[in-house]
Amino acid sequence: MIEVKDLYKSFDDKEVLKGINTIFEDGKTNLIIGQSGSGKTVLMKNLVGLLEPTSGQVLYDGRDFVQMSKQEKVMMRREMGMIFQSAALFDSLTVLENVMFPLDMFSPMTLRERTQRARECLDRVNLIGAEKKYPGEISGGMQKRVAIARAIALNPRYLFCDEPNSGLDPKTSLVIDDLLHSITHEFGITTIINTHDMNSVTTIGENILFIYEGHKEWQGVSADIMQSTNKRLTDFIFASDLLKEMRSLVNEHRAKQ
């Protein structure tokens, strides 16, 4: 479980996070949603330690990540996997080498075992056959799947995904969502996903945090989000005319019943 307590983050005199308090539950897909510039990525970077909070705590099973020593942070990070918006694969390495990289760095396995494990991860994301290709030779969706395979290679306890559907077509987005959701349950990982994608919210969001201008505006499960009366949340979710129309149709249907 990851608990965030009174998290503030400022850049010079601009306050981006204004006292976030939340809990990301174990074995669930936790979603962070919000408009561009609301502070989602800054929150995630604070969670993984790429940014230092101005004040507040990030507790991993009760242990404050901010107060950990350098060595403790390194050990903690080995329990984390992260999928970046741009996939962030190493250009100079092949797909197989990318997945093997964390194993090469930290695993005591033999070369044969490491290769076997990397192939298992690639198989899990349906990428067997692409092992010898370089990141530049595969599609954006495949790159995201390689990033997922690399992130799960060391069996992490926490998986962070920064807009994993960004730049992907709706069908590929569904594949990525399904994959993240099933991996979360299969391995009991605590997954935290930053997203704008409303389809992800309704299909895989088990715990949803809505951030508005740097503070927590709403938190709940996907079943509640459609019935929410929070104006900022509904304005965000039903921003498109199509969704507004669908919502009014659903409401009409419910009224008739």
Partner 1 sequence: MKLLHNWLTHFGQFIILMGRTFSRPERMRMFFKEYTKEMAQLGINSIGIVLLISFFIGAVICIQMKLNIQSPWMPRWVSGYTTREIMLLEFSSSIMCLILAGKVGSNIASEIGTMRVTQQIDALDIMGVNSACYLILPKILGMVTIMPLLVIFSSAMGIIGAYGTAYIAHILPPDDLTLGLQHDFQPWFVWMSIIKSLFFAFIISAVPSYFGYNVEGGSVNVGKASTDAVVSSSVLILCSDVFLTQLLS
- Taking the least distance from each CB to partner 1, the nearer of 106 and 245 is 106
Instruction: Sort 195 into a burial class: Cβ within 10 Å, 0-12 / 13-18 / 19+.
Output: buried
Q: Smallest distance from the beta carbon of 254 to partner 1, in angstroms?
A: 44
Query: Is 230 a residue that touches partner 1 (CB under 8 A)?
Result: no
DSSP 136: G
Query: Is 121 a residue that touches partner 1 (CB under 8 A)?
Result: no
Q: Smallest distance from the beta carbon of 245 to partner 1, in angstroms?
A: 38
Residues 6+ apart with CB under 8 A from 96: 115, 118, 119, 122, 131, 132
Q: Where are the beta strands (DSSP E) in the chain?
A: 2-11, 14-24, 29-33, 55-60, 63-64, 80-83, 158-162, 190-195, 207-212, 215-220
Query: Is 75 a residue that touches partner 1 (CB under 8 A)?
Result: yes
Query: Is 137 a residue that touches partner 1 (CB under 8 A)?
Result: no
How many residues bind partner 1, per CB under 8 A? Answer: 24
Residue span binding partner 1 (CB under 8 A) among the ranges 2-10, 73-81, 122-130, 236-244: 73-81
Q: 177, 199 in Cβ contact below 8 A?
A: yes
Q: At what angle do helices 111-124 and 95-106 cross, to 10 degrees?
A: 130
User: Which of residues 31, 32, 89, 149 is near partner 1 by CB under 8 A?
Assistant: 89
Neighbours of 106 (CB within 10 A): 11
Radius of gyration over every alpha carbon of the chain, rounded to an integer in angstroms: 19
Which residue reads 């979603």 in tokens? 31
Query: Is 32 a residue that touches partner 1 (CB under 8 A)?
Result: no
User: Which of residues 62, 91, 110, 254 is near partner 1 by CB under 8 A?
Assistant: 91
Q: Which 156-185 positions form the footprint of partner 1 (CB under 8 A)? A: 160
User: Which of residues 64, 90, 137, 235 is near partner 1 by CB under 8 A?
Assistant: 90
- Taking the least distance from each CB to partner 1, the nearer of 4 and 100 is 100
Q: Smallest distance from the beta carbon of 8 to partner 1, in angstroms?
A: 22
Query: Is 242 a residue that touches partner 1 (CB under 8 A)?
Result: no
Q: How many CA atoms lie within 13 A of 98 on its CB side?
A: 29
Residues found near partner 1 in the complex (CB under 8 A): 48, 50, 73-78, 80-82, 84-86, 88-91, 101-102, 104-106, 160
